Structure 1
Amino acid sequence: MAEQTGVSIRTLYRDIASLQSMGAMVDGEPGIGYVLKPGFMLPPLMFTPEEIEAIVLGSRWVAERTDSGLGNAARSALTRIASVLPSDLRDDLEASTLVIGPSTAIPTDTVDVGLLRKAIRAERKLTLIYRDATGTASERIIWPFALSFFDAVRMLLGWCEMRQGFRHFRTDRIVSAQMSETRYPERRQALFRKWREAEGITKRFD
């Protein structure tokens, strides 16, 4: 079973123990084998009405206000959540009338924002060709650690090697971006924490 599911024996034993703690009638023991008696169903996902509204509204905002990759992921996640909800909660989700209003200005990016997100996840350096507000272009090597989404603009946050400090880059002014194979020397959460302290931001981002 461990080989078929692609997990370790230890993980398999732990998962079986979790099922047993949830009330599943699993007979057997390690090294011998297990039998799941019929009639057991995992409990469905349960949410309060406010949680359903938050999930729907948040997913719709992501679908409408972010890049296509995140938008498609939000729609897919909402569909998957709906598929495992009890019928009454699924009806509430599908009938939600919380909607996202039209944006007055949609960001127009030259680069693939999905690449920027990938560099953040992988903690890789990015080489940017960036134009400032006057149109002057410069090449920057940055350590990207966060991406901020606003209605009219998206901001890439990073440590700039040239400026030796934190800088904010509007994604619609990034002419090109190339992700390096080189990891930057700090973890992105550490950079995020230092940026927050430098900006005097005390609110947690959880």
Structure 2
Amino acid sequence: MRPAERLFRIIRILRTANGALTASQIAQKLEVSKRSIYRDMAHLIGSGAPIDSEPGVGFMLRDEFDLPPLSFTFEQLEALALGAKTLALIADDDLSTAAKEALEKIRDAVPERHKAKLDAPHLMVVPPKGIEMPTKTLRRLRRAIDENLVLKISYRALDGGQTSREVYPLALTNFGPKWLLTAWCTVRKDFRDFRVDRIDQLSDLRRKFVPTNGQQLSDYLKRYST
């Protein structure tokens, strides 16, 4: 779990808690160490988050921490709920959990008479049958895209050939049961799309790339939209 995602989840846990929570309780919910929670709390409090802490009692979020009120039509909420249900089935573990949490927030926000509609059969999402999503690889690819990390991949082509590529990861696209990685390939000196389920090995080369003209996702999209 990335640090930014953990901070968000700590805020959500505090918002839904009935009273103060200890570092041990929060650490147990997130499956991390107490030391990590204390460090995260120091960061949140230092950043201005309205969190009260008392030794021996725990941490509590003050009431003023909230998003500005947003207004959605029920159809807009249906769309958001359907998107969250889909991500919960096809994404990596972290994004799937975030989608489930978002769906619960949507359900909590609507009147009681609408809750059943959000769970109605016409909004069900059926998981791809017999297909296991490459969740661990997806999580690593998302992190690499977010942080502009250069990757080395071992890729199994459709003809069975194995190639090794150094790539600049740019985007992930879902096509039903399949995920596609769009990247700049330093070997081909061009954009390439790789099926994530055919990436056999993935290595973080521990260095970052700087997006330059001609190698950015916007360049890729312009090429294939004209």
TM-score, structure 2 as length reference: 0.63
CA distance in 1, matches of 2:135, 2:80: 30
Aligned residue in 2 for 1:6:
46
Q: 1:104 to 1:129 in 2, by over 3 A?
A: same
CA distance in 2, matches of 1:89, 1:43: 22
Aligned partner of residue 125 in structure 1, secondary structure: strand
Structure with higher Rg: it is 1
Aligned residue in 2 for 1:129:
154
Which of 152, 175, 190 is residue 150 of structure 1 equivalent to?
175
| Mapping for residues 10-159 of structure 1, pairs under 5 Å | 45-87=70-112, 89-90=114-115, 92-94=117-119, 97-104=122-129, 106-109=131-134, 112-159=137-184
Moved more, 102-111 or 127-136: 102-111
Q: Please list the CA deviations of residues 129-187 of structure 1 after superposition, one character each: whole Å capped at 9, or x if unmatched.
A: 11111221121110001001111311100000000000000111101111232111217
| 8 Å contact kept, 1:46–1:85 | no
Q: Please list the CA deviations of residues 92-130 of structure 1 after superposition, one character each: whole Å capped at 9, or x if unmatched.
A: 545574112353562553852100010001111111011
Q: 1:122 to 1:46 in 2, by over 3 A?
A: same
| 8 Å contact kept, 1:154–1:172 | yes
Q: 1:4 to 1:79 in 2, by over 3 A?
A: closer
For the aligned residue pairs, the C-alpha RMSD in angstroms reads 3.2
CA distance in 2, matches of 1:106, 1:176: 19
CA distance in 1, matches of 2:67, 2:192: 48
Larger relative contact order (CA 8 Å, sep ≥ 6): 1
Aligned partner of residue 100 in structure 1, secondary structure: coil
- Give structure 2 stretches of 5+ with no counterpart: 1-42, 51-65
